[in-house]
Every structure is written in structure tokens, then in C-alpha cells.
Amino acid sequence: MRCFFLDVAGQYLEFSEPSKAEHLWRYTPWRKVHPLGTFSKIPTDVIVAKAKLTYLDGTIPENIIFEKVSSFEKPNPLEPDVSAAFIRAICNGSYYKLRIPENVILNQCLMLDLGVSGYVSAFHLVVENLSNSNVELITSIQGDAEWFGLLREGNMGKNSNFSELLVNQMSAESTFLRAENFILNTNSNMHSATLSLGGVKCKSDIRALIQGSGVDYSQKIAMHGTGERTDDTHLRIIHESPNSNSRVIAHTICDDSSKNTTTGKLIINENAQNSDAGQKFLNLLLSDAAKANSIPELEVLANEVLASHGASSAPINEEQLFYLKSRGLDLDEAKAMIVEGFLMSTFEGFPSKKLIEWAQARLLVHLDCRLVV
């Protein structure tokens, strides 16, 4: 086991500490994300998140493989670099494999509960969604770990369908590092939704490689910033093949003295003719001290494409507040209603109604708890 640890640790230490000049690390430097604050230090006393996979009704799926694996495989060169290598190192190279066999069509939604605790916690998930499958997955992250790292990698097989929701409900004092890379093959569909509520310092590096034609990929992210919370989210989507679609939509609420930065880099390579891709970032500021930065980027090397991006930030609408208060709501209740409507509008058009209903229930609990406090 020691040799195994040294191998994956060495892969991480092959990197140099990211410079703040790099776009990805400009707003939240690596030293502020690292649990020990020093690049070369790798925690060894790490608690792997407690993972439980069931159907949404609590029953155990019979035709799905979910198992812990140890591997010496070299990482995919297209994955998130430093963050992914670090999480792999503190997991000692071990990961959990979620494998959906070919031609499996699930009538129920899968539920992956991750319980995080201790000073440093981590979890590495590899998703294999094989050809002609149809799956829905909810990933719920809960617990009071001071620091949690989540690495997710996946391969969407030909003609597969994968809809998923990730909800961050961690302690308000936690730091959360998320790194992921999904590869999409011919005629695969992947629709991902994120509801980011927990943690005081959150950093996400989300990547997708569209390497087959006929792909439909979407990423919808809703973030709620309160107190001194920071949520730094970076997306990179690469179109390698023709006749594919991708959409990124991010809605952010920033209240109190919270801060948010969302960047999206969309790359359409020269072979990806007839691609249709877009990014849209909307921010709603509920206080004068709150800050939000949205930076969409396009790199288009093909000439027969549709590509668009947009970003805007605005303060809360005082007329909306006045209207709600005139109907008997106090200021906090009126704000909560606006927050709910703005964040849930992120998920318009999402193909799974079950997943979005579950997200809305979690959001309402989150807002109710804030009203009680």
C-alpha cells in the first residue's frame, strides 16, 4: 500500500504549484484550496466518504455494479490536472466504480449518498455508462468534514442517456474541492444539474470532452452565496466531433459578503462542424457587499457552427420586494421566495422532473433553515 501511495503521490508532485496568472487559479489560488496550505504536503490521515447507492425509494439496485477498486492506471491527460491528481493521491489511488451495463433502462432514479466527516475527506468516482442505457442519478453530499475533495470521471457510451443531479449540502464551515471530466461518445446524452448550497469555500473544475457526433450535453448550475461564502466554478467543454450540442447555464445568488466567480471556456475544434453551443451566466446580488464575476470564453476553430455566450449581474428588484411585502411577507421571506424562483429557473428544460423536484425540496429546506435562524 505504501508503494501504491507513493505512485499516485508522485503523479501529483510532478505538477508545479499553479500560478495565479493561470485563469483557473486566478480567483482562488491553490494554496487557499489545499487542506494544509502547502503545495508539497499530502495528507495521509484521510477519511473516505461513506457511500451508499440505492434507488430513490431506498431499495438496492440489482443490475448495477458499485464497487471499490484499486488501480495504477495513468490519468486521462484531458482531466482536471492538479486538483484531480491531488484527490487521487489522498485516496491512495482507490476509487469507486459505478458501472451501468449495456441496454439497461432504469425506471427508478439512483441515489448516491456521500457522508463526509473528519478533517480531510475525499471520494473518487468513476462512471461507466455503457451503450444504449438510460439512467438517472442523484448525488447528495452531506456532513461536517472540514475539507472534502470529490473527483468524478466518466465515459458515456454510444446511444446512452445519463441525467444527474449533484447537491452540495455540506456544513457551512466546510471547504469543498470538486474536479471532474466526462467523455461523451457518439449519440450519447448527458444532462447534469448542480445545486450548490453548503460550504464556506467551494472550488469546482468541471470538464467535458465531446468526442463523438450527435452528442447532446448540458450543464445547469445553481449557487446560493451567503455570509462570507465563496463559490469559484470553472467549466471547460471541448467539441471534437461534428453535429453536437452543448449548453451551460449558471444562476448565482450572492447575499451578505459572499463572492462568486464563474468562468466557462468553450472550445470548438476544426473537425466539429455544425456544432451548436452556448453559455449563459446570470447573477443576482442581494447586498452591496456581495460580488459576482462571470467570464464566458469562446475558442472557435470551425466555420460552420452556432456559438453564443452571455453574462449579466443585477441587484434585487425592489418592485418585486415591495409587491411581496405588500402581500404580508416580511423582508427575509420575500427574499427567500425570490431566491427560490431565481435558482429553480436554472433547471428549466431539464429532462428529469424527478431530479428537479428533489432539488427544489432540498432548496426549500435550506431556505427555511435560514429563516428560522
Q: Which residues of the chain have pLDDT under 70?
A: 1-6, 71-80, 371-373
Domain that holds residue 191: 2-372
CA angle 297, 300, 304 (to 5 degrees): 135
Q: How many structural domains does the chain have?
A: 1
Q: How many CB atoms lie within 10 A of CB 210?
A: 31
Could you tell me which of 252, 247, 268 has the C-alpha nearest to residue 190?
247
* Res 314: pLDDT: 87
* Res 85: pLDDT: 92
In single-letter form, the type of residue at position 243 comes to: N
* Res 372: pLDDT: 55
* Res 73: pLDDT: 60
* Res 38: pLDDT: 94
* Res 76: pLDDT: 58
* Res 4: pLDDT: 44
Beta-carbon contacts of 272 under 8 Å, excluding residues fewer than 6 positions away, are: 210, 239, 240, 241, 242, 244, 301, 302, 305
Helix (H, G, I), strand (E, B) or coil at 295: strand
Grid cell in block for residue 72:
495504477
Beta-carbon contacts of 243 under 8 Å, excluding residues fewer than 6 positions away, are: 213, 214, 273, 274, 275
* Res 5: pLDDT: 47
The answer to whether the beta carbons of residues 199 and 228 sit under 8 Å apart is no
Q: How many CB atoms lie within 10 A of CB 277?
A: 24
* Res 20: pLDDT: 85
Q: How many CB atoms lie within 10 A of CB 364?
A: 13
* Res 131: pLDDT: 92
Checking DSSP bridges between strand 50-55 and strand 291-300, what pairing results, if any?
unpaired
* Res 2: pLDDT: 41
